[in-house]
Amino acid sequence: MKYLWADPEAEKSASLIRWKKGYTAPPHVHPHEAHFIMLSGRIAVRNAEYGRGDYGYEPAGAVHDATTTLEDCVCFFVSNGPIRFKDGGAS
């Protein structure tokens, strides 16, 4: 992950995320809304797939099981607060 902008006090950020094909992000919750644009590759999120140029929105309170990469990918991700992993961690 490469942070492009961050507000540590508010835990808001904009970043580029690079994931290799087959990576699975652990189960997590978005307590605050988040937005993303796929710059390359494909991911599977819940019952949808996103590819190059696709926009995704995560409303506050969105709960994920695993998010899986179907191809090497890069996405631009803006989070209006921290992400809480179901194991209790935050990112």
What is the per-residue DSSP string for 4-69?
EEEETTTTEEEEEEEE-TT-EEPPEEESS-EEEEEEESEEEETTEEEETT-EEEE-TTEEES-EEE
Q: What is the pLDDT of residue 75?
A: 97
Residue 90 lies in a domain: no
Residue 91 lies in a domain: no
81, exposed or middle or buried, with CB in 10 Å at 0-12, 13-18, 19+? middle
Give the domain extent around 79: 2-85
Residue 65 lies in a domain: yes
Q: What is the pLDDT of residue 19?
A: 96
Chain mean pLDDT for the chain: 89
Q: The dihedral of CA 58, 61, 62, 63: what is its sign? A: positive
Give me the CATH number covering residue 24.
2.60.120.10
Q: 50-67: per-residue pLDDT in tens?
A: 999 999 999 998 887 888
pTM over 0.85: no
Q: 13-28: per-residue pLDDT in tens?
A: 999 999 999 999 888 8
| Structural domains of the chain, count | 1
